[in-house]
Amino acid sequence: MAALLAAIGYEHWIIHVLLALPILAMPVILFAPARAARYIAFVVALMEMVLGIGLWWAFDPTRSGMQFVTDVTWMSRFGIGYRVGIDGLSLLLVLLSVIMLPLVVWGSWRGIDQKQRGFYALIMALNTGMLGVFVATDLFLFYMFWEMLLIPMYFMIGIWGSANRIYAATKFVIYTFVGSFMMLVAIIWMVAVVGKATGQYSFAYDNLLDHANLLRPWGGWLFTAFALAFAVKVPLFPFHTWLPDAHTEAPTAGSVDLAVILLKMGTYGFLRFAIPFFPMFALSKTTGMVIATLSVIGIVYAALVAMVQPDLKRLIAYSSVSHLGFVMLGIWGSTVESVQGAIMVMVSHGLSTGALFFMIGMLYERRHTRKIADYGGLARVTPLLATAFVITAFSSIGLPGLNGFVGEFLVLLGSFGRYPWLVAIAATVVVFSAAYMLWSTQRVFFNRLTNPLNEGIGDLNLRELAVIGPLIAAMIWVGLYPAPLLRRTEGAARHYVEMVTPALPPAALPDPGAQP
């Protein structure tokens, strides 16, 4: 398979095609007849997935540096270039967004009835934005994609959302934008400083990385600028209130994209930009403790709050905050195991939360309500949906044997050395997450069917099964056999940890296995 891909020069054109295809499809979808929009979008999405899956084999896990690299100067005067590349950190996220695209398009087949062309065009734009963020190795390009995908998301929530969607959409955009405009200042400042010192201005990631020591005097506020932008996206504890609103108001496709990929941009940003550029400041004793504590607060707090949510989507939104807290804890654990765990949580959270949002979307399409109280005893009426929901619920709370456990276990195990007490507290979330998930599952599926409205709703049809099926299969596969995923991210994780360890203060517990 790898040989076949190499034969067609796969690694040279794949990223450009992945980025360009959805953009080119947009006008076609916009000017196609309304009925055909869905089908075109689905075909394009399938093509994108088929092409994208090739990355899995074309990626060479042994090399730890960037692969599929392209470097074309764009605005030479400022040193901005169209520089893209994928390495261990971004490979899985790119694959996730590529695989999610056809599922999202197919998932919202029935749910979106008005302005379909606009909707599917926006999905395409959103997908390019997302892919762009993960593949860009030029800071300007990264920032451009980073801001670009706010627009489609805003319209998706704003137009196709439910009750107070305008509030949620505006809050989402302003929150993210306020967070990230400081980042732009920081990027330009960095390029200026490095440019003046080396005489050659360039936004390239490697160039800035090699001269990161020049930035040490301003390391403090530069890191804070980056951290603020990414913390809002993660969302880290105090900056998370936009997520529940955005999720409750977004249509299914919007919610899925938001949960599966948009949230990962924050943590990816930390791993790729914020920490490697300013390791001295980012991993200092105080910053490390502050961020680790915030993420642990986020984990436990969000789980507790999720327990009492009346609205299903809001509950899953808070559970996302809790899962992303794990990723942040993993990143700051700064051991190969915890970073690999962080990436695994990103992937498995995408799978399980994506599936959960799809199913809630299907329930919403049937009963047009997200309140848990309106449901009850659906297991008798929709056995398939109930089974799928239970499996996904257990994967989301980290039942060993399913995908949730792999990530969470590695994060906690890896970070235990650096933050033993915080990890112990974070581990209590195992109980709370079980509490909120089981309690809500019980109130929706496993008690008496009292509400007559619930009698008539039909079980999953073939289309819906085709959306949920692969996700559940992926969950079980990742849960039982995550080795290939781990092998692909090990190189990048090791490279990241080696780059960052010199800046690390001594850990609480010595290196495991050091004893005789």
Nearest to 40 by CA among 151, 96, 121: 121
The rounded distance, in Å, linking the Cα atoms of 198 and 209 is 13
Any idea how long the chain is? 516
We find the least distance from the C-beta atom of residue 222 to another protein, in angstroms, to be 23
We find the least distance from the C-beta atom of residue 347 to another protein, in angstroms, to be 14
Of the pair 134, 301, the CB lying nearest another protein is at: 301
Of the pair 188, 399, the CB lying nearest another protein is at: 399
Compute how many residues bind another protein; rule: CB under 8 A: 66
Backbone angles phi, psi at 74, to 5 degrees: -115, -65
We find the least distance from the C-beta atom of residue 105 to another protein, in angstroms, to be 27
- Output the CA torsion 78→83→88→90 (10° steps): 90
Backbone angles phi, psi at 90, to 5 degrees: -95, -10
Alpha-carbon distances, residue 217 vs 32, 33, 220, 227, 286 (angstroms): 55, 58, 8, 17, 17
Token readout for 195 is: 């440019």
We find the least distance from the C-beta atom of residue 237 to another protein, in angstroms, to be 9
Cβ burial, residue 16 (10 Å; 0-12/13-18/19+): middle
We find the least distance from the C-beta atom of residue 484 to another protein, in angstroms, to be 10
Of the pair 244, 361, the CB lying nearest another protein is at: 244
451 binds another protein (CB under 8 A): no
Q: Is 105:41 a contact under the CB 8 Å cutoff?
A: yes
Q: Is 245:167 a contact under the CB 8 Å cutoff?
A: yes
39 binds another protein (CB under 8 A): no
We find the least distance from the C-beta atom of residue 511 to another protein, in angstroms, to be 8
Count, in order, helices (H) and strands (E) of the chain: 25, 2
SS3 content of the chain, % helix, strand, coil (to 5): 80, 5, 20
Of the pair 120, 175, the CB lying nearest another protein is at: 175
Which residues ranging from 301 to 330 are in contact with another protein (CB under 8 A)?
A: 301, 304-305, 307-309
4 binds another protein (CB under 8 A): no
The rounded distance, in Å, linking the Cα atoms of 21 and 25 is 6
- Taking CB under 8 A as the binding criterion, the range among 8-16, 58-66, 183-191, 383-391 that sits at the site for another protein is 383-391
We find the least distance from the C-beta atom of residue 180 to another protein, in angstroms, to be 16
Of the pair 190, 356, the CB lying nearest another protein is at: 356
Q: Is 406:480 a contact under the CB 8 Å cutoff?
A: no
Radius of gyration of the chain from its Cα atoms, rounded to whole angstroms? 22
Of the pair 11, 408, the CB lying nearest another protein is at: 408
380 binds another protein (CB under 8 A): yes
Q: Which amino acid is at 213?
A: N
Which residues ranging from 385 to 444 are in contact with another protein (CB under 8 A)?
A: 387, 394, 399-401, 405-406, 409-410, 412-413, 416-417, 420, 423-424, 427-428, 430-431, 434-435, 438-439, 442
Of the pair 111, 470, the CB lying nearest another protein is at: 470
371 binds another protein (CB under 8 A): no
We find the least distance from the C-beta atom of residue 514 to another protein, in angstroms, to be 7
We find the least distance from the C-beta atom of residue 102 to another protein, in angstroms, to be 25
101 binds another protein (CB under 8 A): no
Binding another protein (rule: CB under 8 A), the pick from 248, 322, 340, 395 is: 340
Of the pair 65, 420, the CB lying nearest another protein is at: 420
Which residues ranging from 145 to 174 are in contact with another protein (CB under 8 A)?
A: 171
Backbone angles phi, psi at 95, to 5 degrees: -60, -40
482 binds another protein (CB under 8 A): yes
Which residues ranging from 278 to 297 are in contact with another protein (CB under 8 A)?
A: none
> Can the peptide bond before residue 251 be classed as cis, meaning omega within 30 degrees of 0?
no
Who contacts 461 (Cβ-Cβ below 8 Å, separation ≥6)? none
Q: Is 55:48 a contact under the CB 8 Å cutoff?
A: no
Nearest to 119 by CA among 244, 243, 19, 34: 34
- Taking CB under 8 A as the binding criterion, the range among 45-53, 112-120, 201-209, 300-308 that sits at the site for another protein is 300-308
DSSP alpha helices (H): ranges in 149-284?
A: 150-160, 165-198, 205-210, 219-233, 242-249, 252-257, 263-269, 275-277, 279-282
Of the pair 127, 441, the CB lying nearest another protein is at: 441
212 binds another protein (CB under 8 A): no
Of the pair 228, 379, the CB lying nearest another protein is at: 379
Q: Which residues bind another protein (CB under 8 A)?
A: 171, 175, 238, 240-242, 301, 304-305, 307-309, 336-337, 340-341, 377, 379-380, 383-384, 387, 394, 399-401, 405-406, 409-410, 412-413, 416-417, 420, 423-424, 427-428, 430-431, 434-435, 438-439, 442, 445-449, 480-483, 486-487, 490, 494, 509, 511-516
